[in-house]
Amino acid sequence: MNHRFIKTVLSAFLLLMLTTGVQAAEKNMVFASPYGITTLDPSVSYSTEVGYMHNLYETLIRVNPPGSEEPFRFVLAKDFTPSEDSLTYTFTLRKGVKFHDGTDFTAETVKFSIERTMRIGKGASFIWADLKEINIIDDYTVQFVLNKPVPLPQIAASANGSYIMSPAVGDKEAEWFNKGNDAGSGPYTLKNYRDGESWMLAKFNEYWGGWEGNHVENVLVKFTKEPLTQLQMLQAEQAMLVGRIPLDSYPAVKDGKKTKVLYGPSYQNYMAFFNTTRKPLDNVKVRKALAHAMPYEDIIEIGFNGNATQARGPVPKGQFGHSPDVIQYRHDIEKAKKLLAEAGYPGGGFELTLTYAAENQQEKRFAPLIQSEFKKIGVDVKIKALAWSTQWSMAKEDPESAQDIFLLLWWPTYSDPYETLYSLLHDEGDKPVWNLAYYSNPSYDKLIRNAYETTGTDPEKARKLYVQAQNMIQKDVPVAWLVDIVANWPMNRRLQGFVMNPAYPNVPFFYDMYIE
Amino acid sequence: MGFFLFKRFVSLIGLLIVLSTLVFFFTRSLPGDVAALYIGGNAKPEQIERARKELGMDKPLIVQYKIYMEKLVQGDMGISLRTHRPVSRDLMEKIPMSFELVFWALLIAVSGGIFFGVTAACFHGSWIDETIKWFSSAAVSTPIFFLALLLQLIFFNWLGWFPLQGRMDSFLEFTNPIKNITGISMVDTLISGNFPAFLNVGWHIVLPVVSLLIGPLGIIARMIRSSLLDVMSQDYILAARASGISEGVLFFYYGLRNALSPVLTVIGLLVALVLLATFYVEMIFNWPGVGYYSLAAIMSLDYTALMGVTLMVGAVYMIANTITDVVRRLVDPRIK
Amino acid sequence: MKARADSYDMMARKVSRDHRKVRWFQLRRLLKRKITFLSLVIMVVTLTVALMAPWTAPFPEQGRGAVNLEHRLMPPSSTYLLGTDVYGRDMLSRVIYGARISVFGGAAIVFLAALIGVPLGLWAGYNEGVSEIVISRTVDLVLSFPAILVAMIISILFGAGWFMAIAALLIGWWPWYTRLVLGEVLSAKGMLYVEAARMLGYGKLYIIFHHILPNIMTPVIVMMLLDLGPAIIAIGLLSFVGLGTQPPNADWGLMVWEGAPNILSEWWIAIVPGFAMFIVVIAFNIFGDALKEVLDVQQ
């Protein structure tokens, strides 16, 4: 009885839907997103909101996915030319671009935007550290002057901190943005902003790219944390695109009648920092043994459904500086046992604490695999799942009393290996931030700086220096590089045109998409 | 009565001050670096330093405490580290959503509990009584998270009668978006004449409400039953019966009225129980209310939101207890 | 004089002992009811199986957390009676090992709560004056906070884990015992035998331990039994949000949490431990209720 009543109500509904909704639905889509918004201020934004920011705002240029013919895609800039000494870059700007508030885009706005970001000094503003000044040549020509020959195009195409915003922003603060306002030039503008719940990326009629052809016009973002919920929304066609689904559901979704999973390159990688400051991990042989004992294949298979590859050093596959010449440790229990014995720990016999971020589905899944495998060489692992912020804070406090092994998911801010190599392993003294192995090697620090400053003038030499630096690290094993992941997006079969770009992780460029 | 109310009010304020003080010093003694948490992402050391200044965390603890209490008095609970918005604004937005769940759950639990309790007492010793007794035992023995998952499995996955989660089907947000008037979606949809959305919300709300109400329903039914049986064996009922008052009047007027008093004593406890249960129910059913918000605050160590949540739950709990006390004094003349 | 005092004392103790004897005698009646008997059987079986886990679990290694990756996500079968979880571990073995953590954790909370709460109640009840006011105000204060929320906050602040979860839950748990004992002591003090003993010049401690304590043990034991179920659930509530037991150990709450993402396909991973929890808690509740009824304890 009850059942029938509900079915009746439901079918009345569907009828209503069919008559009113379908026509419009083809250009509209729902994105069930696990990515929350920390701030909407484009100068400050440096977190999971990046996926929306790139649809609201644009940068001068974008890095193309690896394998493309051209290294860059021109967005607000039409062209750029570096000077002989790679210290000056001149950008020619696109004409006829309007911001959402109606203001025209000019050289003035470029200077304003980047200076605002540098002045506020939050978020990813550090990317501009080596910028000396910005000169306006004319309305549509702008010149960047550098202190050092750092790779400026990569910086201007950075995933964070390089957005161009309307000068109408003036001296408005983050507060104004966080009420749901935007000042971008992107194809979409923010509407109906209900933080922590839902918001709409709505078509901006005067977008310079135009709206001819097939484009998604309105995207309703429903903030949805639970992977199970996202799965259900995807399967019930309540969402066209979702962020993450339960790990074990990938095989079914991949070959679903209505669903598919898009895989693509990514610069994200997982790593395990070893605490090098105290016994037994201060011994390089013990660290080597553990690097050999890591069950890389199981981690890939169980933690990532096979969609990852064993990492080869800190620089992820596909990024400049990645090389097959970098040493890699294979999973080899016998060798691990032998190394432990050589180090003076035959049969293991010590306990290590491993921390990971409780929010991270993958880490939660593969941490027990490490524990189980280390047991085979006589090393007991105590796993601690902590809120990310706690895990990180505790690791930074005092290396002497911190964890032994720290699991981390890392991604670079811009497409150059220097940031990764510098942040993760340069000597940070007694105030560690990202170097959670507490590793110190002055010749390494010098080497990577040298490479960074060579990139602008002699990329091939820089590449060689980066490889040399990575092998220096690999001999000391302060970190076990676990896996380079293959990014994935579960989506409806009818959603087309999604291009995954590892330089912009977790960014769906909706303008390129359409519904079949 | 006036003096009693005044006394209760003063002690309520006192308890809230103690609570907020404890929470303040507790959260400040935590290992996490709050400033780093506020910045988030791949923060650089100098940015964290700057955030520390901005949050006023470079000042001595006691000065921070003073500032915190001063702001609290003005209803300012600070900025959430996670959402970067005022905690009080966040809470005000989420409370109506949870109110919707809690209201239905308590309404049904109390009326259903009284109904089943009275029925059981009426048929004392029969199979009806036994059934109700076992049901209420089972109800209080079911962990809320297990119940919620079980309901999802049975009523969504196996039978397909109800939706798995959420407040409304997402395509309705394009065709029939809810106008935000009171924040309580069933009220908003009804007064704005948005009938499809109203039905849809009603359809979505069933499973979460059922998960919330089962426990309290069992507790109330069980209490009503035993206190009714207790009251009905008292001397004054016997005397009343001897003086010829009809059995129905006896039962429902004299019996039930007196049997309700002990139930009132646990209402405060029930409110707290349901409020806590919303943490789990809202998480499992993806209901964007204050429970979901609280749990997220706890899990991400969002210490300002954490303080707000603790104060809110503590206050609701204490206020419910105070109201219970007052109502009991009104109902039961024996209490001085 | 001494002789007379002794005989008064004997009398007073006899009165209280007879009182108790009658009550415990009624216990036999308890087991005649099928449902109570069944609850007792469930309790005994659970405790035995949990205690003997290394012998009763079909795969003790997996029960302790060793992974078995070849047999992931298998539905119930003859080898794996209750199926396997995401790491291929036998659910039956996991549930048996989980019982140790859940049931003994619950027992630890209840026992420790009584251990803290009862002496405080005795002390406050017998001394009255300042100590009573301080203790009963503290009890009121603690009971005016929602215990689970406090436990959650403490666990998150001081590091999640089984011990921390128990310690954190204890904070909100002991006052119930103090409150119960305090009430009982205050009413027992008016009893004839206590007054007699006091008139005869027996010391406070003597009276507390020889006359009052034996008489309030029954309600305390009943309360402990009735609290076991809620305590097991409380640990589960913390574990379910990752604030209790840490992997590879798992109590039932954590197991339900681990299985929750798979509920729509491999439902047994979450349902089996949840059901185990339900059955054991209901057994404790029914038995506790029946005991309370037979012993006629007012709470």
Average pLDDT over residues A404-411: 93
In B157-255, which residue ranges form alpha helices assigned H by DSSP?
Answer: 172-175, 185-191, 195-232, 235-242, 247-249
Question: Would you call A369 and C67 a contact, using CB atoms and an 8 Å cutoff?
Answer: yes
pLDDT bin (cut points 50, 70, 90) of residue A391 is: confident
pLDDT of residue C58: 93
Question: Would you call A389 and B32 a contact, using CB atoms and an 8 Å cutoff?
Answer: yes
How deeply is B159 buried, as exposed, middle or buried, from its count of CB atoms within 10 A (0-12, 13-18, 19+)? exposed
Helix (H, G, I), strand (E, B) or coil at A77: strand
pLDDT of residue A430: 79
pLDDT of residue A24: 46
Distance of CA B54 to the CA centre of its chain: 34
Q: Does the complex come out with an ipTM higher than 0.90?
A: no
Whether A392 contacts chain B with CB within 8 A: yes
- Residues of chain B with C-beta less than 8 angstroms from the C-beta of C231: none
pLDDT bin (cut points 50, 70, 90) of residue A385 is: confident
Nearest C-alpha neighbor of A101 from the set A29, A170, A28: A170
Residue A63 makes CB contacts below 8 A (sequence gap 6+) with: A71, A72, A73, A154, A157, A415, A501, A503, A504
- Residues of chain C with C-beta less than 8 angstroms from the C-beta of A374: none
Question: Would you call A6 and B203 a contact, using CB atoms and an 8 Å cutoff?
Answer: yes
CB of C157 closer than 8 Å to CB of B27: yes
Instruction: Name the residue among A246, A372, A385 with its Cβ closest to that of C261.
Output: A246
Whether B299 contacts chain C with CB within 8 A: yes
Concatenate the DSSP letters of all residues of B67-82 into one string: HHHHHHHTT---B-TT
How deeply is B112 buried, as exposed, middle or buried, from its count of CB atoms within 10 A (0-12, 13-18, 19+)? middle
Lowest mean pLDDT among A185-199, A233-247, A502-516, C145-159: C145-159
pLDDT tens digits, residue range C275-298? Answer: 999 999 999 999 988 888 777 655
DSSP character at residue A347: T
CB of B109 closer than 8 Å to CB of B136: no
pLDDT of residue A331: 96
Average pLDDT over residues C8-14: 52
Residue with tokens 């209840």, as numbered in its chain: C110
d(C-alpha C166, C-alpha B219), whole Å: 25
Question: Would you call B199 and A218 a contact, using CB atoms and an 8 Å cutoff?
Answer: no
DSSP character at residue A89: E
Longest pairwise C-alpha distance within chain A = 81
> Within a 10 A sphere around the Cβ of B51, how many other Cβ atoms?
21
- Residues of chain C with C-beta less than 8 angstroms from the C-beta of A384: 159-160, 246
pLDDT of residue C291: 84
Average pLDDT over residues A82-111: 94
Helix (H, G, I), strand (E, B) or coil at A264: strand
Whether A272 contacts chain B with CB within 8 A: no
pLDDT of A23 > 50? The answer is no
Distance of CA A115 to the CA centre of its chain: 24
Of A15-24, A257-266, C32-41, give the range with the top mean pLDDT.
A257-266
pLDDT of residue A371: 93
pLDDT of residue C26: 66
Whether B233 contacts chain C with CB within 8 A: no
pLDDT bin (cut points 50, 70, 90) of residue C9 is: low
Percent of chain C topping pLDDT 70: 90
Helix (H, G, I), strand (E, B) or coil at A92: strand
Helix (H, G, I), strand (E, B) or coil at B57: coil
Instruction: Name the residue among A247, A252, A385 with its Cβ closest to that of C246.
Output: A385
pLDDT of B221 > 60? The answer is yes
Nearest-Cα residue of chain B relative to residue C299:
B262
pLDDT of residue A8: 54
Average pLDDT over residues B118-145: 90
pLDDT tens digits, residue range A147-182? Answer: 988 889 999 999 999 999 999 998 888 889 988 999
Instruction: Name the residue among C160, C247, C260 with its Cβ closest to that of A368.
Output: C247
d(C-alpha A326, C-alpha A472), whole Å: 9
Whether B329 contacts chain A with CB within 8 A: no
Nearest-Cα residue of chain A relative to residue B195:
A13
d(C-alpha C248, C-alpha A354), whole Å: 12
Instruction: Name the residue among C69, C72, C261 with its Cβ closest to that of A228.
Output: C261
pLDDT bin (cut points 50, 70, 90) of residue B89 is: confident
Adjacency order of strands within the sheet including A241-242: A188-194, A198-203, A218-223, A28-33, A241-242, A487-492, A259-264
A-B CB pairs within 8 A amount to 137
Question: Would you call B149 and C263 a contact, using CB atoms and an 8 Å cutoff?
Answer: yes
For the stretch A96-123, what's the b/e string if a residue is b when 16 or more beta carbons lie within 10 angstroms of its beta carbon? ebbbbeebebbbebbbbbbebbbeeebb
d(C-alpha C45, C-alpha C61), whole Å: 21
Distance from CA of A375 to the nearest CA of B (A): 30
Percent of chain A topping pLDDT 90: 63
pLDDT of A372 > 50? The answer is yes
pLDDT of residue B42: 55
Residues for chain C: how many in total? 299
Of A265-279, B8-22, B175-189, give the range with the top mean pLDDT.
A265-279
Concatenate the DSSP letters of all residues of A441-497 into one string: -HHHHHHHHHHHHHHTT-HHHHHHHHHHHHHHHHHH-SEEEEEEEPEEEEEETTEE-
d(C-alpha C39, C-alpha C284), whole Å: 7
How deeply is C106 buried, as exposed, middle or buried, from its count of CB atoms within 10 A (0-12, 13-18, 19+)? buried
Question: Would you call B283 and A16 a contact, using CB atoms and an 8 Å cutoff?
Answer: no
Output the average pLDDT for chain A: 89
Whether A4 contacts chain B with CB within 8 A: no
Give the residues across from A191 on adjacent strands: A200
Give the DSSP H/E element, type plus range, for residue C44.
helix C34-51
Question: Would you call C145 and B314 a contact, using CB atoms and an 8 Å cutoff?
Answer: yes
Question: Would you call A368 and C65 a contact, using CB atoms and an 8 Å cutoff?
Answer: yes
Average pLDDT over residues C94-112: 94
pLDDT of residue A117: 93
Give the residues across from A383 on adjacent strands: A354
Helix (H, G, I), strand (E, B) or coil at A159: coil
pLDDT of residue B31: 57
Nearest C-alpha neighbor of A385 from the set C69, C156, B40, C232: C156
pLDDT tens digits, residue range C240-266? Answer: 888 888 877 888 999 999 899 899 889
pLDDT of residue B237: 80
Of A57-66, B52-61, C138-147, give the range with the top mean pLDDT.
A57-66
Question: Would you call B149 and C270 a contact, using CB atoms and an 8 Å cutoff?
Answer: yes
Distance from CA of C275 to the nearest CA of A (A): 21
pLDDT of B73 > 80? The answer is yes
pLDDT tens digits, residue range A188-203? Answer: 999 988 877 889 999 9
CB of B113 closer than 8 Å to CB of B221: yes
d(C-alpha C165, C-alpha C53), whole Å: 23
Of A9-18, A441-450, B10-19, C289-298, give the range with the top mean pLDDT.
A441-450
pLDDT of A325 > 60? The answer is yes
